[in-house]
């Protein structure tokens, strides 16, 4: 499996993922858990952010400090990626959010682009591609393709569940992109759903 794959071993991630998978979890709770998981996974995905030394005035005097000064862009893949934005914004209030609209053609399972309003040149130094599900990997690969054409230099994928097929496809297409997920599941089924998975993330998030 890809050296760039990071599956969380954090107990809170495991606990919350189990609740998220549960078919008895309603839409409201599903969104809440997705938000919390996104925050925890973003914490893990940003371990290598660059720091600039600084000084800070405390009530007692001057202390050495650090500033995480890289500009970060969140790139949620519509629709389900939207459910990961809020939690990360709590952790990183100054992020830019650039939406990419893709849906998976139900017959071919290939991604179809329907929304992209990226400006002409990159405005961030690190992009976090957000999508709860890395299934065939087609949507993530297409999004990274778009970001690289845009000129993005450092790109990470942050999701909740991945199938081995999706990890392999993304790692082959874009070996430089690290993949941060809560769990690596067993496989894809014949209609491209992750098994055992959690069902259709977009539908569970938005009540459709
Ligand atoms: C689902 C999911 C991912 C994509 C993953 O989206 O949210 O975006 O499929 O599949 P892939 O790795 O095989 O590309 P869907 O097309 O159902 O759209 P939605 O998020 O709008 O429901």
Q: Which of 153, 148, 103, 158 is nearest to 124 (CA)?
A: 153
pLDDT of 106: 85
pLDDT at 3 over 90: no
CA–centroid distance, 119 to ligand 1, in Å, is 24
What local confidence, expressed as pLDDT, does residue 62 receive? 98
CB 169 near ligand 1, within 6 Å = no
Sign of CA dihedral 89, 46, 79, 29: negative
Q: 18: alpha, beta or left, given left = phi > 0 and alpha = psi -120 to 50?
A: alpha
**Residue 207: its pLDDT value, please?**
93
The per-residue pLDDT of the chain, averaged, comes to 96
pLDDT in tens, 135-160: 999 999 999 999 999 999 999 999 99
Ligand 1 nearest-atom number relative to CA 208: 22
Percentage of the chain modeled with pLDDT above 90:
95
Average pLDDT estimate for 46-50: 96
170-182 mean pLDDT: 98
Distance of CA 103 from the midpoint of ligand 1 (Å): 6
Percent of the chain with pLDDT over 70: 99
Structure tokens that stand for 81 in this block? 């990626």
**pLDDT at res. 1:** 61
The SS3 of residue 135 is coil
Atom of ligand 1 nearest to the CA of 134: 12
Catalytic residues: 104, 108, 200, 203
The tens digit of pLDDT for each residue in 90-107 reads 999 999 999 999 988 888
pLDDT range class, residue 109, cuts 50, 70, 90: confident
Closest CA to 146 of 90, 100, 199, 208: 100
Ligand 1 within 6 A of CB of 79: yes
Answer whether 101 contacts ligand 1 (Cβ < 6 A): no
pTM of the model: 0.96
What does the pLDDT average to over 4-26?
A: 98
| Topology, domain 5-206 | Rossmann fold (3.40.50)
146, 116 Cβ separation under 8 angstroms: yes
Report residue 2's pLDDT band, with 50, 70 and 90 as the boundaries. Answer: low
* Per-residue pLDDT at 29: 98
pLDDT of residue 177: 98
Across the chain, how many H-helices and E-strands are there? 6, 15
Q: How far is the CA of 132 from the centre of ligand 1 (A)?
A: 8
């Amino acid at each position: 499996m890809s050296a760039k794959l990071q599956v969380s071993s954090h107990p809170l991630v495991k606990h919350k993922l189990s609740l998220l998978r549960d078919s008895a979890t309603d839409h409201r709770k599903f969104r809440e858990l997705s938000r919390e998981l996104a925050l925890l996974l973003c914490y893990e995905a940003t371990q290598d952010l660059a720091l600039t030394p600084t000084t800070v005035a405390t009530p007692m005097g001057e202390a050495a400090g650090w500033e995480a000064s890289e500009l970060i862009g969140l790139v949620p893949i519509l629709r389900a990626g939207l459910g990961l934005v809020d939690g990360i914004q709590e952790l990183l209030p100054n992020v830019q959010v650039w939406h990419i609209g893709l849906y998976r053609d139900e017959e071919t399972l290939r991604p179809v682009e329907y929304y992209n309003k990226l400006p002409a040149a990159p405005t961030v130094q690190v992009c976090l591609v957000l999508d709860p599900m890395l299934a065939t990997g087609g949507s993530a690969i297409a999004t990274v393709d778009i970001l690289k054409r845009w000129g993005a230099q450092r790109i990470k994928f942050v999701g909740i569940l991945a199938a081995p097929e999706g990890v392999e496809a993304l790692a082959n297409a874009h070996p430089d992109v690290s993949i941060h997920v809560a769990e690596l599941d067993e496989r894809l089924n014949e209609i491209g759903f992750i098994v055992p998975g959690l069902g259709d993330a977009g539908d569970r998030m938005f009540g459709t």
